[in-house]
């Protein structure tokens, strides 16, 4: 079950992420990310 409404707060985003991940709804999960997101992971390349 996916929701197409944008979460209103950080807590809403975390809750939506967890719910969508748990449901296996990857398209809805990816909708939570900004279009220009960049991930940085510390440590050796």
In a domain, 1, yes or no: no
In a domain, 29, yes or no: yes
In a domain, 44, yes or no: no
In a domain, 15, yes or no: yes
The pLDDT tens digits for 1-45 are: 455 666 678 898 899 999 999 999 999 998 888 888 777 888 887
In a domain, 42, yes or no: no
The whole-model pTM stands at 0.60
Half-sphere exposure of 25 (CA within 13 A, CB side): 15
Q: What is the pLDDT of residue 20?
A: 94
Give residue 14's domain range. 7-34
Q: Domain tally for the chain?
A: 1
Q: What is the pLDDT of residue 27?
A: 93
In a domain, 12, yes or no: yes
| Count of C-beta atoms within a 10 Å radius of residue 19 | 15
Whether 1 contacts 27, CB under 8 Å: no
Q: Using CA atoms, how far apart are residues 21 and 40, in angstroms rounded to an integer?
A: 21
């Amino acid at each position: 079950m996916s929701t197409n409404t944008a979460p209103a707060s950080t807590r809403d985003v975390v809750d939506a992420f967890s719910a969508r991940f748990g449901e296996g709804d990857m398209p809805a999960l990816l909708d939570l990310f900004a279009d220009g997101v960049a991930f940085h992971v510390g440590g050796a390349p």
